[in-house]
Amino acid sequence: MNFASTYELAAANARLAELHKQAADARIARLAKKERRRKAA
């Protein structure tokens, strides 16, 4: 296993984790908005 591929793998994992985090944040924000609307009604 050479260093370059290990580094690239780490970078790809970091990008993937960031995408997952953004998706989770968006989902939470959507749920919170829905919840607020339901409480207001």
1-41 per-position pLDDT tens digit: 566 798 999 999 999 999 999 999 999 999 999 999 998 87
Predicted local distance difference test score (pLDDT) of residue 1 = 57
Q: What is the CA radius of gyration of the chain?
A: 18
For 14, the token pair is 């970091």
Q: For position 40, what pLDDT does the model report? A: 87
pLDDT at position 15: 97
Report yes or no on whether pTM surpasses 0.75.
no
Vertex 21 angle, CA 20 and 25, to 5° = 120
Single-letter code of the amino acid located at 14: A
Identify the DSSP state of 26.
H
* Rounded distance between C-alpha atoms, residue 40 and residue 27, angstroms: 20
